[in-house]
Each structure stands twice: as structure tokens, then as C-alpha cells.
Amino acid sequence: MVNRRRIKGDPKPRLTLPILAVVILIIGGLLWRVIASAGKPFLVVAVASDPVQIFFYDRSSGRSSLLSIPAAAITGVSRGYGNYSLESVWRLSPLEKSPAIFSETLEYATGLPVTAYIGATDGRLLPEMPLDRLFSLNLVPAFLGGTFRSNLGLADYISLVRVLSTETLARTKTITVTDQQLREITLPDGSKVQEIDGGGLDRLYSHAFEIESLRGENLRISVTNMTGRAGLGQAASRILTNFGALVVRVDSMESDLAKCQIRIPDRLARTVTVAVVRSIFNCRLEKIGPDDAAEISIRLGSDYKARIPE
């Protein structure tokens, strides 16, 4: 007869299955989020380093670009904070309890939809480093331990680890901002600083940040600023144009619209263009009949106004 008594020190069999189930759920949930993240049409992440780096990845074509901007460069800051250097904006975000200030300010300055950011928790700038060192499985414990300040979730971080392989970086187009894309201005105290020239940046890009599948669809887009603040329509149009979209009209209309709307005929609901627009502006979808001038109509609400410097 076999003695089935548990030997002292053996693990309790009753705990094995529940623990295993929890581990499977955690891993399964993480994998699901990584897969969901991979389904987004593009990725734009800013690294708070010196220089500030903005990495762009087009999932449909595998194309990637890396923009480097001096951290001392001055620009308008979102949410009405005036003009500061990019380094100061990174330090300002936690002090004002507005973590999105850094990404929103970069979006306005560069004309690129910066949706994610990462940097040091203590407010200092990270040293410039290859991105595959920053996004590495070896740094996952540091990421989880609070070494970085970021709006990336663990699934997003791991997705970037996957994207930023050595092969991807080898094919990445590198774009460096120089004095030609910066304007020298004199402050009231007589000191001179360099301010980011948005038009100069747009000319520098030369299609580097276009999403090929979006450009291929070539759908006509109109942008209507419903907020009453001047310049919002042009700012949105700039982002879309840098991504390869065809903007045929920008206008304005007084309204109390709170949230961005995208108005389209039903046949365009599954296009890359609509997916990109909704991802950038967080638009509510409204299906309508075709428009003579534009196939896609974007109406900017007050939620977008906070993202643009006054």
C-alpha cells in the first residue's frame, strides 16, 4: 500500500492550481494588451533626454524615424503656461500635476501627435542613449519600480521593446534639428535663446513621418475649429499633413462642442485614415452622407483646445 501522506516541507497541492491560474491570467492579460497595442496604426513616443528624442513607427509599413531636438530650445507650452525650454517643461509637469503637458507641448512644437512619453522620475533629463537600451527587457524591473516617469503601461513598454529591435533601429531615419530650424530671440533681460520654428521643422521632415497606408488612401479631409480659439484648425491640419493626409479645407464655426467629432460615410469606417484621426484627436464617430468637398469631416471641440498653447 502506497503511503500518500504529504512529506513535511513539500508544497501544498491545494495552492498550486489557484496560483497557476493567477499567473496564467496575468500573463494572458499582458499578452492581450501587447497585441491590442500592436493593432494601433502608429506609435509616437517622446524621450525626455538631451537632446529630446521623438520616435515614430508606422506599423503598416515598418518605417521608423527618430527626431532629435535640443532640450534648451524654447516653445509655447500647453494649458496656458507661457514659453519655456523643453527641459523646463519636463520639470514643470509633475509640479503642476499635469503630466500631459510635456507630450502636448511637443505635439504643438513638432506637428507630430506625441501620445507617449518617458523620462527620469526626478525631473532630470536622461542622457542620450540608443533607444533599444532604454526599452529593454533588462530594464523592466526598473520600469516597474518607478525609476521612470511615463504614461506607458507595462504592455506598451514591452511592445516598444519588441518594435525597437536592432534591425528596426538600423533602418530608422535620423533627423536632427539644427540652428536652421530654430529662431534666435532676445528676452527682456537681454539674453538670447533659440525658439523652435514649426515651419522649419515641417520642411526638414520631407515625408519622414508619413503613414504610407494613410497616404495611399488619399481621402479628402476638412477640419473645422468649433472652439472659437484661433489657430486650432491649422494646428490639427499640420499634424495630419505631416502624417501624409490630404487636408482640403480648414475653417471655423462657433459652437459649444465639447468633444471632437469625425463625420464620415459608412463605407469609410474601417479605413486607416479614420483610425489614425480617431487615435490622434480622440474623436467620436458620426456616420453621415458624403460631402461634396471632403470625404472626412473633423470637428474640433473644447477638449482639443487645452492641448494647444494660447
The DSSP code sequence of 155-209 is: HHHHHHHHHS-HHHHHTPEEEE--GGGEEEEE-TTS-EEEEE-HHHHHHHHTTTT
> What is the rounded CA–CA span in Å between residue 209 and residue 240?
10
Distances (CA, A) of 48 to 7, 102, 130: 55, 9, 13
**pLDDT for res 96:** 67
262 DSSP assignment: E
Measured between its terminal Cα atoms, the distance across the chain in Å is: 84
Which tens digits make up the pLDDT trace of 112-124?
999 899 999 999 9
> In this structure, how many other beta carbons lie within 10 angstroms of the beta carbon of residue 176?
12
> What is the rounded CA–CA span in Å between residue 264 and residue 219?
11
**pLDDT for res 21:** 39
**pLDDT for res 234:** 96
Longest CA–CA separation in the chain, Å: 96
**pLDDT for res 149:** 94
Q: Which residue has the cell 519655456?
A: 84
**What would the grid cell of residue 144 be?**
516597474
Residues of the chain with pLDDT under 70: 1-39, 96, 290-292
> What is the rounded CA–CA span in Å between residue 176 and residue 201?
10
> In this structure, how many other beta carbons lie within 10 angstroms of the beta carbon of residue 26?
10
Instruction: State the pTM of this model.
Output: 0.85
The DSSP element (H or E) to which 131 belongs, if any, is: helix 131-134
Q: 3-state SS string over 75-127?
A: EECHHHCCEEEHHHHHHHHHHCCCCCHHHHHHHHHHCCCCCEEEEECCCCCEE
Determine the Cα angle at 45 with ends 39 and 51, to 5°: 160
* Domains identified in the chain and CATH numbers: 42-181 (3.30.420.590), 210-305 (3.30.70.2390)
Q: Which residue has the cell 462642442?
A: 257
**pLDDT for res 189:** 84
> What is the rounded CA–CA span in Å between residue 42 and residue 61?
10
What is residue 21's three-state secondary structure? Answer: helix
Q: Which residue has the cell 491545494?
A: 14
User: In whole numbers, what is the pLDDT of the chain averaged over residues?
Assistant: 86
What is residue 259's three-state secondary structure? Answer: coil
